[in-house]
Amino acid sequence: MRAINLALKDLLQIFRDWRAALFLIFMPIAFTLLFGFAFGGFSGIDEGDPRLPVVVLNNDLGEYGLILIQMLEDSSVIRLEPSDEDDLQSRKSSVKNGESAATVIIPPGFSDGIQSGQIKPLRLIYNPVDRAGRTAQGEIEAAAMRLKNSVETARLSETQYQEILGFVSDDERDEYYGWALDKTLEKWEKPPVVLIRTSTGEFIEAAEESENAFAQ
């Protein structure tokens, strides 16, 4: 009984001071909303499709830019979103406002660079301190690396075939290379061994833009 009386006395003193009462009532609500906005997730996620929205600006006129886009479309982590605005500032604002997790820009001559071995880097706009941005970055860079390795593997297979059997024409060479590239990309999609990597920590450099795995 004495404990109840003391509690009622304390409550009475609190409510006599309206500023203290407001602090006790509304500050927990304010902190809940604050942390909800800070850690509640990515606002651009569609309930029907939980993958992260990413915009691709393709300035390349060759086949490898299209192949990379197809690889990103097949991703289980990100989904490609159409965009009517292709200027850099609009894409930065979209990432900053949470409308998209990232924007990847395929530069002109991307396919020619892969063909000649002088790869031009992709440009990636994302928020490096945001979990959604880092996840999208990793998926885009992984796709770019798979494409790079697949092209190198197909070229190596083409060279070995030429040394062993030889091609009777350039058309036969091109046909073989296309077949080897398709098979290599298919194997990347369904690897015989799956590795699961765990990490205890990471270092993220705070930068608004980052180059991807094609950067030299």
Show the DSSP H helices in 1-62 as ranges: 2-16, 18-39
Contact by Cβ (8 Å): 103, 124: yes
pLDDT digits (tens, 9 = 90+) for 110-164: 998 888 877 788 999 999 888 999 999 999 999 988 898 899 999 999 999 899 9
Q: What is the pLDDT of residue 103?
A: 92
Tell which residue, 176, 65, 42, has the closest CA to residue 73.
Answer: 65
pTM exceeds 0.75 for this model: no
Nearest-angstrom CA–CA distance, 6 and 127: 52
**In the predicted model, is pLDDT for residue 102 greater than 90?**
yes
Q: Amino acid identity of 60?
A: D
Contact residues for 53 (Cβ-Cβ < 8 A; gap 6+):
44, 45, 46, 78, 79, 80, 81, 99, 100, 101
Class level of CATH domain 52-193+205-211? alpha beta
Residue spans of the domains in the chain: they are 7-39, 52-193+205-211
> What is the pLDDT confidence band of residue 209, given thresholds at 50, 70 and 90?
very low
pLDDT of 198 > 80? The answer is no
Distance CA 65, CA 106 (A): 7
